Amino acid sequence: MWYHRIFDEIIEGDDDFVGMIAYAIYKQEKIKWINVQYEKTGSYPVKDEIDRYFHDVASTPDSLARYRQQAEDIVNKFTQLSLFEELDEYKKQLRDDHIIKSIEEKLYKGKAKTIFENVISGLVASGIIVILSVFLFLYDKMQDEKFNQASGIPEIVERYLPKNLNENSENHLNGNKLEKLNERSY
Per-residue 3-state assignment (H helix, E strand, C coil) for 28-53: HHHHHHHHHHHHHHCCCCCHHHHHHH
- Per the CB < 8 A criterion, the answer to whether 67 and 10 are in contact is yes
Over its length of 186 residues, how does the chain's per-residue pLDDT go in tens digits?
Answer: 355 677 878 888 888 889 999 989 988 998 998 999 899 989 998 888 887 778 778 888 888 889 999 999 999 998 888 888 888 888 888 888 888 888 877 777 767 777 888 889 999 999 999 999 998 888 888 877 766 565 555 566 566 666 665 555 545 545 554 455 455 554
What pLDDT, on a 0 to 100 scale, did the predictor assign at position 139?
A: 84
Question: d(Cα 29, Cα 48) in Å, to the nearest integer?
Answer: 17
What pLDDT, on a 0 to 100 scale, did the predictor assign at position 53?
A: 77
- Per the CB < 8 A criterion, the answer to whether 34 and 45 are in contact is yes
| DSSP calls for 57-80 | HHTSHHHHHHHHHHHHHHHHHHHH
